[in-house]
Amino acid sequence: MYMTRLSVNINKIATIRNARGGNNPDLVQVAKDCERFGSQGITVHPRPDQRHIRYDDVRELKKIVQTEFNIEGNPLDRFMELVLEVKPEQATLVPDAENAITSSAGWDTIKHQSFLTEIVAELKKNGIRSSIFVDPVLAQIEGAAKIGADRIELYTEPYASHFHKNKEKAVEDYVKCAFLAKELGLQINAGHDLDLHNLAFLKKNIPHLSEVSIGHALICDALYLGLENTIQLYLRQLI
């Protein structure tokens, strides 16, 4: 059976901490607990204004993460300096604007082919796996393969927003893109608005999914269900 890994995005934990200052909740301890409760990776998405994850958080987390460390972000100079210093297992390249509340679109891998090719080559030279955040469009998957990326991360907000209306239609483009990616030698990640309602159906339709990174919904569920129980519930959706 193909195993899909769960990487917990802990940005929201940092948001809560930053709201009051100090170190409560303790981000490092939460990351350790996520792994102890079954998470197979830790994801962070530092932004230029450091409104949740701070650059120093990334450095501290690198010291303690025992599973896979995934750093997401727009590969501008400062971000790349951090990634090349920390050397996570994976860097996920996301084209978010500096003031974006959250990621809202994937890369145009055709328009930005030259830029992304250079970034991916630099990551590869440093032993860092690359993943490119893309919309479920076949041409963009082909573009990611030409760039030399190791993986794509499918932007799943459109899937999540249409899931309750027509889940078969909502997943259709993702299935086509995932199978094309597999044919082109790309591994497939997915993320954005995945939750306990829509995750299992995505996994069922894309059985060769390598990884999902989930933060907002998982932390919201943990408020009611507890962090350990919530992580276990998400893992069950990936069986």
174, 184, 171: which is closest to 153 by C-alpha?
174
Q: How many CB atoms lie within 10 A of CB 11?
A: 21
Interhelix angle 138-147/167-183, nearest 10 degrees: 30
Q: Active-site residue numbers? A: 45, 72, 192
Residues 6+ apart with CB under 8 A from 132: 92, 93, 106, 107, 109, 116, 120, 144, 147, 149, 151, 152, 153
Residues 6+ apart with CB under 8 A from 3: 238
Question: In whole angstroms, what is the distance from residue 97 CA to residue 115 CA?
Answer: 16
201, 225, 223, 227: which is closest to 212 by C-alpha?
201
Residues 6+ apart with CB under 8 A from 156: 174, 190, 191, 192, 193, 194, 202
Question: In whole angstroms, what is the distance from residue 143 CA to residue 139 CA?
Answer: 6
